[in-house]
Amino acid sequence: MCSRYLGFFLLVWFPGALHAQSAALQCAAPSLDHGNFVPVKETYSHDSKLTYACRNTHKPAVEGWWAEIVCQHGTWSHTPRCIEEKACIPPTIANAKYTEASEGWYKEGHIIRITCDKGYEHKDNIATAKCINGTWSSLPMCEISIKSCRAPPKIPHAIIVDQGYQELFLEDAEVKYECEDGYSTEGSHKKTLFCLAGTWTEGPMCRSSSTSANRPLFIPIENCGTRPNVPNGVVVEEHRMYLKFQCNSFYKQVGEDTVSCYNDGSWSKLPVCEDAFCVMEPGHYDRGLDLSVTEYIKEGETKYIPCTWPDYSVAVHCSNRRITYTRCCTTYDHHRGTCS
């Protein structure tokens, strides 16, 4: 008997509760002076989108001449507002702060003053901007201070500990290095670098613990004389204690990318830049392909070379320095994967 009444009560109560919950998620139509919005309704359900624009002499208080708001759990994503065309919306200035207007926009003639974040400084000593006819005049910028440091140097056989990744370090910041297992530096396993006047102090050189007694010590690279040459590679970073190489395009690196100087005046082992491309020489190929110039294809790359017939091409793929290519097909067939 009780269960029968309970079931009846739930049938009556649930629809009412669900209706109340649905109503709570709805948004009322917003008010918008000097503007219009579509679609026009009395209420809007959750996730509904509403587009609005402003009439002559006014503009939305956001970027662009029209804007969109979304109903989220009974609240609009932002309050639509039309402001005078000569007013300014808040500017976006990286690595800086300034006093925000309580209305969310600034009247013509208003002047803002920015404060750069720690580690940054005003570029060209410009710290203010003025709203003129709806646009900010000469927006100030914050650039990295000459006393701050970029990312710390990479040290062979060492890792950074107790420090999360960051792009900028303030003056006097410190970074702790730890040698990999089997390596040490000057009898220790750890060393700390400091950011001083925009430059990192000299880093540790981690040497193999098992052979450190027989291995020459590293010294500044200026003691090794002529810089080493890595065919098809270039120096991308020069440090007091090492050179860092990078292979050119179409080549892959084998071995360590950093080179150091031993105290006997010799360089440590150089990296090697191996070929990482395929070559198709000029000539006639089967499947309707004629080449008048040499084609180079990067390792792992697929290149589309025109056939003798208009709007047809061959897909040439380079893998392990070996070339495979399809028959002549249209772009549509290539994208469908039906060309082989």
Residue with token string 């860092």: 244
Mean pLDDT computed over 260-279 = 86
Tell me what pLDDT residue 190 has: 72
Alpha-carbon span 64 to 82, nearest angstrom: 12
Structural tokens at position 191: 């060393």
Mean pLDDT, residues 172-193 taken together: 79
Mean pLDDT estimate for the chain: 83
CA angle 202, 205, 208 (to 5 degrees): 170
* Confidence check: pLDDT of 54 > 70: yes
Architecture of domain 96-144: Ribbon (2.10)
Architecture of domain 24-84: Ribbon (2.10)
Contact 110, 134 (CB under 8 A): no
Question: Is the Cβ–Cβ distance between 128 and 140 less than 8 Å?
Answer: yes
pLDDT-derived band at 18, boundaries 50, 70, 90? very low
Indicate if the pLDDT at residue 5 is higher than 60. Answer: no
pLDDT of residue 2: 46
pLDDT confidence bin for 11, thresholds 50/70/90: very low
pLDDT of 330:
85
Q: Where are the domains of the chain?
A: 24-84, 96-144, 158-213, 221-273, 277-336
When pLDDT is averaged across residues 36-51 and rounded to a whole number, the result is: 91
Please name the CATH architecture into which domain 158-213 falls.
Ribbon (2.10)
Q: Please give the residue that has the higher pLDDT: either 186 or 127.
A: 127
Within 10 A of 17 (CB to CB), how many other CB atoms are there?
Answer: 10
Q: Do domains 24-84 and 96-144 have the same CATH topology?
A: yes
Give whichever of 103-117, 259-273, 296-310 has the largest mean pLDDT: 103-117
**Model pLDDT, residue 240:** 86
How far apart CA 210 and CA 157 sit, in angstroms, is 14
In the predicted structure, residue 224 carries a pLDDT above the cut 70: yes
Q: What is the pLDDT of residues 55-67, one digit of tens each?
A: 888 999 888 888 8
Amino acid code (one letter) for 304: Y
Amino acid 189: pLDDT:
62
39: how many CB neighbours lie within 10 A of its CB? 10
- pLDDT of 112 strictly over 90: yes
pLDDT confidence bin for 3, thresholds 50/70/90:
very low
Q: Which amino acid is at 5?
A: Y
Say if residues 243 and 259 touch (Cβ distance below 8 Å). yes
Task: Say which CATH architecture domain 221-273 belongs to.
Answer: Ribbon (2.10)
